[in-house]
Amino acid sequence: MSKKTTKSDDTGKVEKIQPIPENLPEELLPLYDWWKEKGTQVLTTAGVVALILIGTIAFIHYRNGQLAEANIELTKANSIEELEEVVAKFGGIKPGNAARVRLAKAYYDASRYDSALETYQACEKKGVPKGFEDVVTLGRAHALEALNQNDQALALFKKISENKKESFLYPQARMGEARVLTLQGKKDQAKMVLDELKAEKTDDPIWEMTIANLADVVDRYEPRAKRSLFDMADQAAKMIEPALTPDPAAEPEPSAPPVE
């Protein structure tokens, strides 16, 4: 039977040495020594690793649940209010940013061009969903065009038409170029763009008709003269002034007889 022993260190302190368990096979003595020296540390490390693993699994489970819920709500959302709720609730994950694309288009269709532009820009900052890069760029261009920010709109239309000729949005980008050039008073350049596009789409009767309609609009477009609100108000006042001024030559209307 082993006995407890003690040893002294250099400072004179006495350290107790734990006895070796009875009946321990000699071949396990090295393992026992290792366990006494490092076993506690190993258990602590293993516990930390286990906690991290459990936390990671729980987070992935939660994330997957959020993604599934977001996708369901995005599928059901149709109105601006419903899309706004999806963005507010899930805006930090991919389905939420996909909802931003739909929300921006809904704003544009409702003539809320400032909101559309702001939402498209937020979508780009969060990371455009894969495959929707050109959609967001074209959406921004349309919003800028509607806000009369023609130089910026033209740059974005050209970004698609010059680099993405194979894109299904290419014809829309080229027609966007033609519209903006027309608004800038460059009708000849606009017609050149439409002629080039028409030559590229000779095998598509629907696009040919659409291009022809836009070309007709470009031909008939005349820029409006810029007038201040004061000029417009002054002209309106001059138009109603004769109606308010009495005619001296007109005979006065007979007054009504007194009531007895």
pTM, full prediction: 0.60
Give mean pLDDT, residues 76-87: 81
Give mean pLDDT, residues 21-25: 58
| Alpha carbon distance 190, 192 (integer Å) | 5
Task: Return the pLDDT at 223.
Answer: 79
Residue recorded with tokens 């209307």: 253
| Alpha carbon distance 103, 77 (integer Å) | 10
Task: Return the pLDDT at 102.
Answer: 87
Task: Return the pLDDT at 128.
Answer: 86
Give mean pLDDT, residues 45-64: 47
3-class SS at 16? Answer: strand
Task: Return the pLDDT at 177.
Answer: 95
Which amino acid, 120?
A: Y
Give mean pLDDT, residues 2-13: 50
Q: Band of the pLDDT at 149, cuts 50, 70, 90?
A: very high
Identify the CA nearest to 174 among candidates 155, 158, 191, 192. 158
Helix (H) or strand (E) holding 8, with range, is strand 5-8
**pLDDT > 80? residue 133:** yes
Q: Computed from CA positions of residues 69, 76, 143, 196, in that sequence, does the dihedral angle turn out positive or negative? A: positive
**Alpha-carbon distances, residue 229 vs 184, 222, 226, 232, 233 (angstroms):** 22, 20, 10, 5, 6
Least confident of 77-81, 93-97, 155-159, 207-211: 93-97
Give mean pLDDT, residues 200-224: 88
**pLDDT > 80? residue 82:** yes
- Cross-strand partners of 176: none
